[in-house]
């Protein structure tokens, strides 16, 4: 990644952002209809950018039927619809994500896009960190069974400064966002479909941490409620300012929130606590040769 031109001098200082909270279905047509309604409402309210949640285009954990619906990017109807609403309403669209087919592998990629007001895709990001976890009392989740992990972080230029792209579980890997901040990112997008247990315990505190650590706005559009495929998601889409203040919490309602974001608050936060400038390189720690390796001991049942 290289720093975009607007890293130091964004062309516009106030962004009217629309953030959508959705209960996406296992059908493209249903989600496209929701997208079109959301985009129309956002445009009526003067939004310059629309942010969508993870799996906005298709949410389906049934692999057999998902294989019939998921297509390569250039044939995906939801991505095409996002490009159409961007150009039709002359607004930026951060698509959250939708699954696309990885033709060389047979699995999918969880892919998000940033689309400019002409309908051009200016950045695409594949979810790097896949949710392979065993939550207490729940069926083990293995995103890597159906998804190929992304290999590349992505920062994109906008009139309001550079933005860093990520998806959901990436939130737990703070070095990704630190890299974005070092490139001058003013906003970090974290579209998500958080589980109930982890949402209640970790969602807000992790998002606020990423905002505070890096002096960035964090835009976290989320899925909420009961989905067609049986899943339940946490909701609570959040917009957080660079000082860590929650500007918007959509709780568990679907719909749209529209806020004006003052980009000057990024430099104010970074000047007040200049952790990006204060960061220093250091030698990595090493365990003494005679110490017990705690990770090895856990594996051996010690």
Place of tokens 């974001």: 261
Residue-level pLDDT at 101? 97
Q: Which of 10-14, 159-163, 209-213, 283-287 has the lowest mean pLDDT?
A: 10-14
Q: Given 143, 154, 168, 216, which residue is catalytic?
A: 168
Q: What percent of the chain clears pLDDT 70, i.e. is strictly above it?
A: 91
- State percent of the chain over pLDDT 90: 83
Q: Is 245 a catalytic site residue?
A: no
168 is catalytic: yes
pLDDT tens digits, residue range 41-56?
Answer: 999 999 999 999 999 9
Residue 296: predicted pLDDT: 57
Of the pLDDT bands very low, low, confident and very high (cuts 50, 70, 90), residue 103 is confident
> Which of the residues 54, 143, 154, 216 is marked catalytic?
54
**The length of the chain, given as a count of residues:** 302
Catalytic residue, candidates 127, 143, 154, 216 = 127
Q: What is the pLDDT of residues 124-162, one digit of tens each?
A: 999 999 998 777 666 777 898 999 999 999 999 999 999
pLDDT band at 295; cut points 50, 70, 90: low
Separation of first and last alpha carbons in the chain: 43
Taking the C-alpha atoms of residue 117 and residue 283, their distance in angstroms, rounded to an integer, is 46
Instruction: Using alpha carbons, select from 68, 125, 72, 128 the residue that is nearest to residue 100.
Output: 72
- Beta strand pairing call for 14-21 and 49-51: parallel
The predicted-structure confidence for 13-36, as pLDDT tens digits, reads as follows 999 999 999 999 999 999 999 999
Question: H or E stretch including 79?
Answer: helix 77-89
- The CA–CA distances, whole Å, from 302 to 273, 292, 294, 298 equal 43, 10, 9, 6
- Per-residue b/e over 159-183, b at no fewer than 16 CB within 10 Å? bbbbbbbbbbbbbeeeebbbebbeb
- 296 CB-near residues (< 8 Å, 6+ apart): none
Q: Domains (ranges, CATH) in the chain?
A: 12-300 (3.60.110.10)
> What are 50's two structure tokens?
């629309």
Q: Are 105 and 90 in contact (CB under 8 A)?
A: no
Q: What is the DSSP letter of 285?
A: P
* More confident position, 2 or 159: 159
Burial of 256 (0-12, 13-18, 19+ CB in 10 A): buried
For 210-247, what is each residue's pLDDT tens digit?
A: 999 999 999 999 999 999 988 999 999 999 999 999 99
Question: Mean pLDDT of all residues in the chain?
Answer: 93
Q: What is the pLDDT of residue 302?
A: 42
CA-wise closest residue to 194 among 222, 226, 230: 222
Q: Where are the alpha helices (DSSP H) in the chain?
A: 28-44, 63-69, 77-89, 174-182, 196-198, 204-214, 264-272, 275-278, 294-300
R_g of the chain, CA atoms, integer Å = 19
Rounded CA-CA distance 149/102 in Å is 11
pLDDT band at 188 (very low <50, low <70, confident <90, very high): very high
């Amino acid at each position: 990644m290289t720093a975009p031109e607007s890293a130091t001098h964004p062309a516009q200082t106030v962004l009217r952002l629309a953030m959508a909270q959705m209960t996406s279905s296992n059908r493209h047509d249903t989600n496209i209809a929701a997208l079109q309604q959301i985009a129309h409402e956002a445009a009526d309210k003067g939004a310059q950018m629309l942010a969508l949640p993870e799996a906005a285009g298709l949410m389906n954990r049934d692999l057999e039927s998902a294989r019939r619906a998921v297509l390569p990017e250039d044939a995906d109807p939801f991505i095409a619809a996002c490009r159409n609403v961007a150009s039709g309403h002359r607004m930026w669209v951060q698509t959250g994500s939708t699954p696309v087919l990885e033709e060389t592998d047979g699995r999918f990629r969880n892919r998000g896009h940033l689309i400019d007001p002409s309908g051009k895709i200016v950045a695409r990001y594949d979810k790097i960190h896949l949710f392979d976890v065993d939550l207490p009392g729940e069926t083990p989740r293995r995103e890597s069974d159906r998804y190929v992990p992304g290999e590349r972080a992505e920062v994109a230029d906008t009139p309001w400064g550079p933005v860093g792209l990520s998806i959901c579980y990436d939130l737990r890997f703070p070095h990704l966002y630190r890299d974005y901040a070092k490139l001058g990112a003013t906003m970090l997008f974290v579209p998500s479909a958080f589980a109930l247990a982890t949402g209640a315990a970790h969602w807000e505190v992790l998002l606020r941490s990423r905002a505070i650590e890096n002096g960035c706005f964090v835009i976290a559009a989320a899925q909420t409620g009961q989905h067609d495929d049986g899943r339940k998601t946490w909701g609570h889409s959040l917009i957080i300012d660079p000082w860590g203040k929650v500007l918007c919490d959509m709780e568990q309602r679907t719909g749209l929130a529209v806020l004006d974001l003052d980009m000057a608050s990024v430099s104010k936060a970074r000047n007040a606590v200049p952790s990006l400038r204060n960061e220093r390189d250091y030698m990595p720690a090493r365990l003494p040769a005679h110490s017990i390796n705690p990770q090895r001991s856990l594996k051996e049942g010690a």
